[in-house]
């Protein structure tokens, strides 16, 4: 492991350090797509979001994960993304990739959910930019709106639960690998929409 991972105090910090390169590459690629140039470009971003959230949707119904992570079912965002697409007159993308199973091994599920929850935190910045297109929590940008308790507080509750899960060093690496897979999956969806 590199020094950043060895000195990180929490699993969330270790995941952040380990996935920094794939996360940064994804952020740059999304913004290079000009998602706030107009509503059509933003709809492409919504299709990316829909594909990602559809792929992880079963995890939110997992009793094993719900026992470990607070309010997991309430954190599900697929319905909001679908509503955002419908607001913009867009059809939902076809199911072209197999979704993750609800019984995905725990370390992998944690890695994927870390990426999903982190995107929710980052979405607060995108939400402000979406206002320039006339989009908000009631039309077109529902899935980016902060939780009523505040995005930071909602994120801290998730990371506290994430950090509390006991994992072996090998399982910790599996969670990191899964988070990297999640970022690469979203990157592939971006390339499909913005190629």
Query: What is the pTM (predicted TM-score) of this model?
Result: 0.93
**Band of the pLDDT at 148, cuts 50, 70, 90?**
confident
Report the pLDDT averaged over residues 34-57: 97
Residue 149 has pLDDT above 90, yes or no: no
Burial readout 171-194 (b: 16 or more C-beta within 10 A, e: otherwise)? bbbbbbebbbbbbebbbebbeebb
Count CB neighbours of 114 within 10 A.
Answer: 23
Where do the structural domains in the chain lie, given as residue ranges?
A: 32-194
Task: Give the C-alpha separation, 68 to 63, whole Å.
Answer: 9
pLDDT at 2 over 70: no
In the predicted model, what is the mean pLDDT of residues 171-177? Answer: 98
pLDDT, tens digit, for every residue of 29-44?
999 999 999 999 999 9
| CA atoms of 94 and 63, how far apart (whole Å) | 28
Look at residue 158 and tell me whether its pLDDT is greater than 70.
yes
CATH code, 32-194: 1.20.910.10
User: What is the pLDDT confidence band of residue 5, given thresholds at 50, 70 and 90?
Assistant: very low
Average pLDDT over residues 55-71: 95
Q: What is the DSSP letter of 58?
A: G
């Amino acid at each position: 492991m590199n020094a950043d991972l060895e000195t990180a105090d929490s699993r969330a910090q270790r995941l952040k350090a380990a996935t920094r390169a794939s996360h940064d590459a994804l952020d740059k690629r999304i913004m290079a797509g000009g998602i706030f140039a107009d509503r059509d470009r933003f709809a492409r971003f919504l299709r990316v979001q829909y594909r990602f959230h559809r792929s992880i949707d079963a995890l939110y119904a997992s009793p094993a994960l719900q026992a470990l992570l607070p309010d997991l079912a309430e954190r599900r965002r697929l319905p909001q993304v679908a509503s955002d697409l419908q607001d913009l007159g867009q059809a939902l993308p076809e199911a072209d990739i197999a979704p993750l199973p609800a019984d995905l091994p725990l370390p992998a599920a944690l890695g994927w959910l870390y990426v999903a929850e982190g995107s929710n935190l980052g979405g607060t910045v995108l939400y402000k930019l979406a206002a320039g297109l006339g989009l908000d929590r009631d039309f077109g940008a529902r899935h980016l709106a902060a939780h009523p308790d505040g995005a930071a507080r909602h994120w801290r509750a998730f990371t506290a639960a994430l950090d509390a899960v006991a994992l072996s060093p090998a399982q910790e690496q599996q969670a990191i690998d899964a988070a990297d897979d999640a970022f690469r999956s979203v990157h592939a969806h971006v390339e499909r929409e913005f190629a």
